[in-house]
Structure 1
Amino acid sequence: MRAMAAIKILLIEDNPSDVRLLREILKDAPAARFEWRAAGRLQEAVAALAHEHFDVVLLDLSLPDSRGLDSLIALKPFAAALPIVVLTGFDDEALATGAMQLGAQDYLVKGQVTGSLLVRSIRYAIERQRAEQKIHEQAALLDVATDAILLRDLDNRVVFWNQGAERLYGWSAAQVLGQTAADLLYGRGLVGADEARLAAEEVFATVVVRGEWQGELTKFTRSGKKLIAQSRWTLVRDEQGRPKSILTVDTDITEKKQLEAKFLRAQRLESLGTLAGGIAHDLNNILTPIVAAAQLLPLRLTDLDQQDLRLLRMLEENSRRGSHLVTQILSFARGMEGRRTILQIRHLLGEVGQIVRQTFPKSIEIRIDASAQDLWTIQADATQMHQVFMNLCVNARDAMPAGGVLTLTARNLIVDEHYARLIPDAAAGAYVVVTVSDTGTGITPEIVEKIFEPFFTTKELGKGTGLGLSTVLGIVKHHGGFVGVYSEPGRGTEFRVHLPAAAGSEVEPEAQAELPEGCGELVLVVDDEAAILEVIRTALESHNYRVVGAGNGLEAIAALRHSPQVVLIDMMMPAMDGPAAIFALQDIDPHLPVVAMSGIAHAERPKALHSTQRAFLTKPFTVPELLLAIHEAIHGRSAA
């Protein structure tokens, strides 16, 4: 058998008789070998520790250069990793307790020590020191861990709290030991804290019964910041198998969840763009005959009074607005460009004010102040600006269910560098600021941080898409501006839309020119929608054109036998779509002028298919737009 390694002892004892006595006691110790080194003074012992390895220290508290517990205190820094057994002639319980509190592994009284007792004390001291060292090493590893690790008793009081928990939650171990975990991690008064506390209490009960649990929990830091933790709970049992405490390991996954949410939002936006592109054609096909019919009825029914005419104009305007909404969804989802012109905000706010006065509840008072004569102009897409202010007005209306005051104002503002640094996305320069304010319910600070996120809404299911304010922000930023929001619960909300001022004058609308009349020319109209065919036929025949219709590309080829002077053709049809039909028609008659039409968005217009394609009409189009395109196509001027 391999010989057991000797236990090396440093004996710090100034009495030679006691040194000899201890050697004799241990000489005959069973199953143990010892090597000795004696030191009569504390200073001599310190020097020995610096040059030699020892397994245990036997310390007398009465030395020539040190006495009492001061000897233990002075020695400890030089023997931090060694077990120390105090061996003294004082049978003093208070002294023994003090020695153990200072880190001694045992306290033995001379004259009461036997060989077996001393051997047992030395062995236990070495084993306990090794166990404590291992625990300290494990605790150090727990502190190095980035995860928050905490141990709580079955009364939910914290008994261990590592440095990872300190970093994550902001509380030091000294502050939390003995405190109730729920009070620390779910501070009262914080939004969402009560729900999070209830969820944690359910998890606690589950772990006591089942022994473990893992999942995601919402928790709060010392500063009140909310975070999402991937939490793993394990029930710890004592030697008899009885539940003793619960070990929890938390990993902060807040940023990961935010990235996941952004990815999901991006996917939903992509799906929205696909959906909007799919429905745009069909929806605009529905709106086209409505717009055209609303314009044709006054021509055919000459006895209409002013109220009937206003209703028809309202029908036309709202049909076109429906088409613009589809365009706006496409613009939001796909980043489409709009047509920008020089605009005067005063006129735009006047149009918005007229709509909200007609449609909002009478309990809401509308105030508009854009009367400043020197109000600057902006360069913007009028339809998109209309969408911005209508979205803000609708939100204000919803925030005042019992009525209130909706105010729209416009003013000039020079933003300096200091002001720009205070607001995200702001830049110094000249702006026209439009303020939309209400006296409604207001918004809490926690909600204000999220209101511009796509699909975020506080409205009931089915009453809000969560796209309104994100569309507002996207349009304004795309125009080089920025949005500020100021709100206080119970005292209303104010949105400030900053739009860069533009040099130049507002483009005045052209006077309505006389509509061009036909001279009996034959127009081939190709569309798979019967209603569109009918309304276009009526419009053209009302202005001295003849019309032959076709429901698809194949029928259009057959209709060439009638020798039309121009073809008006839809781009999306069954059997043979528009582009294929145009190529086929022009192979037969290369000089036949073509006007294309479609319900797809402006940015998705096809490239010119042939030199004879003269114009492109986006559904829904007006009767004047139709007549102008047909006239210019026949007479050879491009309107594309």
Structure 2
Amino acid sequence: QLRTALDAAAMGTWIWEVDGNRVILSERSQSILNCTPEDFDTLDVLLERIHPEDRPEIKERAKRAIRTGELYEVETRFQVSGDRYRWLVTRGHILLNTQGQPKRMIGVVADITERKRLAEQFLRNQRLESLGSLAGGVAHDLNNILTPIMMSVQLLPLTLPQINPRSQELIQMLENNVKRGSALVQQVLSFAKGIEGKHVIVQIKHLIRDIKQIAAETFPKSIEVQTNVVSNLWTVKGDATQIHQILLNMVINARDAMPDGGLLHISAVNLSVNEEYVREHPQAHVGSYVAISISDTGVGIPKENIEQIFEPYFTTKGEQGGTGLGLATVINIVQNHGGFMDVVSQTGQGTQFNVFLPATEAVESESIENRSIPQGEGELVLLVDDEATIREISKASLENHNYKVITASDGIEAVASYVKNRTEIAVVLMNMMMPAMDGTTAIRTIQKINSEVKIIAISGRNFTSQIFSDRNLSIKSFLAKPYTTQALLQTIRDVI
């Protein structure tokens, strides 16, 4: 019955004879340790298979158990084969002879590798949750910083019409990099908080061109970057920032796989998947796809690791500091876009990742940034934001495009200003996160004064789902920071 109970608990028994230093293992213990009775006839031989970092603790715990008679208990890494270790927990009691001297230790052993993995994953998930909260706060602060920079850059050409071509190039470069900074903030939020992405028509060739530039500017010069994109490449419908993240994560992986340099090749073609292809690739579906391939001439991926590379936290980068989240993020984004992936690798030769995203026949719509800038008609705008720089630059931009503006620094001041000017105010721009009185409270208070008031919510965080799911707020539109002058003016014009 005892053996049955131990088997049910997946525990093996063992005996250590102190005098002869001999170890006796039960069949279950042999199975756990992946050994035969002849493999470990003495404790010294068994200790050689314990991870070197764990050996001192084992010896210290054993000495203490012999000296004091207390329970021997230790968690260690045990080499089951090659360089593969598993976590074991070992417990035992010392038995004394008639003279009161240690005679033998009897105990149990169990494999706790899975428990350790789950505990580590739980801690990592907690850290990610904390990171998500931190990322939201950091994103809010960064977007508050980026907004006045973005709008100032766009206001400069209007205030300095005679600016020389070189200065215009520098201004455009600054604007492009502010937009890249904004996209980076959204990438952090996308992973840390799982925010919803905006799906639009995406030109993959533009993203590949941007990735090539990033790689050429930041990767070691020993890595050559080549691209090959068909001229008539189809478009896809998705989140451009997330697809950009797919490409960036994979080229970074390729870079890390080539510490001594090599060739990084990015290509994209149109692919029509038929039923025969689906039979050979079960994860695929019949339809039209944009097939993106990223290959390197690096170290390659061992066959035993191929099935694990997309698992969260799995990494082979060791001391290089890999988190094991890069490819996990990639496969998650690809699947959320209705696509699939495969990988081909040969140790010492290199690796090729293939990403297949569903193609669309839709035409790329004109973005807000490419439309003509709508002008105001003298309407009065109430602008509410606790950041002075955002109030100042937004006010200047609006006034420069024929709007009148009154500002407020918090919800209390906003309500007071609205009460005073309610018959003249055409629209309210309300920041959602403010001290004293936040945006939500201020909006509800103003709506009690005038239920038909037109309100545009503004935030450096993504509040879209919360805002539009609350029917009592009746928000007309949402403007995410950092916003451009074009986006601000177009949103106001659409609402008015």
TM range (shorter): 0.7 to 0.9
Q: Per-residue deviation at 1:506?
A: 4.3
2:400 maps to which of 527, 539, 542: 542
- Residue in 1 aligned with 2:336? 478
**Matched letter for residue 487 of structure 2:** E
* Bigger relative contact order, structure 1 or 2 (CA pairs below 8 A, ≥6 apart): 2
Q: Matches of residues 9-88 of structure 1 in structure 2 within 5 Å?
A: none
**Matched letter for residue 73 of structure 2:** Q
Q: Per-residue deviation at 1:389?
A: 0.7
1:165 maps to which of 26, 29, 44: 29
Following the alignment from structure 1 to structure 2, what is the Cα–Cα distance between the partners of residues 274 and 147?
41
SS in 2 for 1:565: strand
1:286 corresponds to 2:145: yes
Following the alignment from structure 1 to structure 2, what is the Cα–Cα distance between the partners of residues 523 and 205?
74
1:151 corresponds to 2:15: yes
Contact 1:569 1:597 in 2 (8 A): yes
1:507 corresponds to 2:376: no
Q: Per-residue deviation at 1:216?
A: 0.8
Contact 1:579 1:609 in 2 (8 A): no
SS in 1 for 2:370: coil
**Matched letter for residue 628 of structure 1:** Q
Following the alignment from structure 2 to structure 1, what is the Cα–Cα distance between the partners of residues 3 and 446?
84
Contact 2:151 2:393 in 1 (8 A): yes
Contact 1:528 1:573 in 2 (8 A): yes
Contact 1:291 1:316 in 2 (8 A): yes
Contact 1:435 1:496 in 2 (8 A): yes
2:460 maps to which of 578, 599, 619: 599
Number of residue-to-residue matches in the alignment: 483
**Matched letter for residue 171 of structure 1:** C
**Matched letter for residue 27 of structure 2:** Q
- Residue in 2 aligned with 1:263? 122
Contact 2:23 2:43 in 1 (8 A): no
Q: For each residue in 1:412-471, what CA deviation from the matched residue of structure 2 results, as whole angstroms up to 9, or x when unmatched?
A: 3747455435xxxx3444543322223345556677666545456666889665543332
Q: For each residue in 1:497-543, what CA deviation from the matched residue of structure 2 results, as whole angstroms up to 9, or x when unmatched?
A: 233x3342442546933211123322221111001001101111211
- Residue in 2 aligned with 1:207? 62
**Matched letter for residue 332 of structure 1:** F
Residues 215 and 604 of structure 1, relative CA distance in 2, 3 Å threshold: farther
- Residue in 2 aligned with 1:321? 180
Q: For each residue in 1:55-93, what CA deviation from the matched residue of structure 2 results, as whole angstroms up to 9, or x when unmatched?
A: xxxxxxxxxxxxxxxxxxxxxxxxxxxxxxxxxxxxxxx
- Residue in 1 aligned with 2:492? 630
Following the alignment from structure 2 to structure 1, what is the Cα–Cα distance between the partners of residues 263 and 395?
48
Contact 2:443 2:473 in 1 (8 A): no
Residues 209 and 545 of structure 1, relative CA distance in 2, 3 Å threshold: closer
Residues 459 and 518 of structure 1, relative CA distance in 2, 3 Å threshold: same
Contact 2:95 2:105 in 1 (8 A): yes
Following the alignment from structure 2 to structure 1, what is the Cα–Cα distance between the partners of residues 6 and 379?
89
Residues 593 and 380 of structure 1, relative CA distance in 2, 3 Å threshold: closer
Gaps of 5+ in 1: 1-136, 187-192, 635-640
Q: Per-residue deviation at 1:606?
A: 0.7
- Name the TM-score, length of structure 1 as normaliser: 0.66
Residues 145 and 441 of structure 1, relative CA distance in 2, 3 Å threshold: closer
1:582 maps to which of 432, 439, 443: 443
**Matched letter for residue 281 of structure 2:** A
Following the alignment from structure 1 to structure 2, what is the Cα–Cα distance between the partners of residues 382 and 485?
23
- Residue in 1 aligned with 2:293? 435
- Residue in 1 aligned with 2:429? 568
SS in 1 for 2:407: strand
Residues 391 and 593 of structure 1, relative CA distance in 2, 3 Å threshold: same
1:519 corresponds to 2:377: yes
Residues 611 and 145 of structure 1, relative CA distance in 2, 3 Å threshold: closer
- Residue in 2 aligned with 1:350? 209
The alignment yields a C-alpha RMSD, in angstroms, of 3.7
Q: Matches of residues 14-413 of structure 1 in structure 2 within 5 Å?
A: 146-152=10-16, 159-173=23-37, 175-176=38-39, 178=41, 182=45, 186=49, 196-197=51-52, 199-200=54-55, 203-204=58-59, 206-208=61-63, 210-211=65-66, 213-221=72-80, 226-235=85-94, 240=99, 246-371=105-230, 373=232, 375-411=233-269, 412=271
- Name the TM-score, length of structure 2 as normaliser: 0.83
Following the alignment from structure 1 to structure 2, what is the Cα–Cα distance between the partners of residues 582 and 206?
64
Q: For each residue in 1:244-303, what CA deviation from the matched residue of structure 2 results, as whole angstroms up to 9, or x when unmatched?
A: 555452111122222222322332232233223333332222211121112112222234
Q: Per-residue deviation at 1:146?
A: 3.7
